[in-house]
Amino acid sequence: MNHKLSIDEYDALEQISKLPKNVKPNACIGRNTKRLTGIKLVAYRKDGSLELTENGRQVLFIKQCIDGLRAIANDAGTKLSGPVAIFLEKKGHIQINPESGLHEISQRGKECLADIETNSKKA
């Protein structure tokens, strides 16, 4: 799962996750389908429509968690989706500030973000 995806490919994954059955994919999805199916993040259903594979769902969720962590680091008032907030809280990356009642990034979360930034610059 160490495939480096472009912003456009992540956008296509997001759109595929929300794409109703029997709806023609847009240009963004069309541009990225060949690569995403090749690395097994997307698969064709029997009816010819696209769906995310389990790996595709994991990659998308990890991206949402990283984006959520960055958002909380920049603005504690940011609202996260339920699954992302639950995951980041369980892993100790964010915590509830007892005074404000808002999420804030923990020391562990700051270290994780620093590690992500360091690794993304190397790639």
Given this model, what pLDDT does residue 43 score? 95
Phi/psi for 105 (5° steps) reads: -80, 135
Domain count within the chain: 2
Given this model, what pLDDT does residue 77 score? 82
Task: Give me Rg for the CA atoms of the chain.
Answer: 17
61-101 per-position pLDDT tens digit: 999 999 999 999 998 888 898 999 999 999 999 998 899 88
CA dihedral 22, 25, 29, 33 (to 10 degrees): 50
**Which residue range(s) make up the domain with 12?**
7-52
The reply to whether 38 and 67 lie within a common domain is no
The reply to whether 116 and 68 lie within a common domain is yes
CATH number at residue 92: 1.10.10.10
Q: What is the pTM of this model?
A: 0.86
The reply to whether 68 and 117 lie within a common domain is yes
- Kindly state the DSSP code that residue 49 receives in the 8-state scheme: -
The reply to whether 67 and 98 lie within a common domain is yes
Q: Is residue 12 part of a domain?
A: yes
Helix (H) or strand (E) holding 1: none
Q: Is residue 98 part of a domain?
A: yes
Which residues touch 2 (CB under 8 Å, ≥6 apart)? none
Distance CA 89, CA 40 (A): 30
The answer to whether the CB of 90 falls within 8 A of the CB of 82 is no
Given this model, what pLDDT does residue 83 score? 94
Block residue for tokens 């973000």:
113
Q: Is residue 118 part of a domain?
A: yes
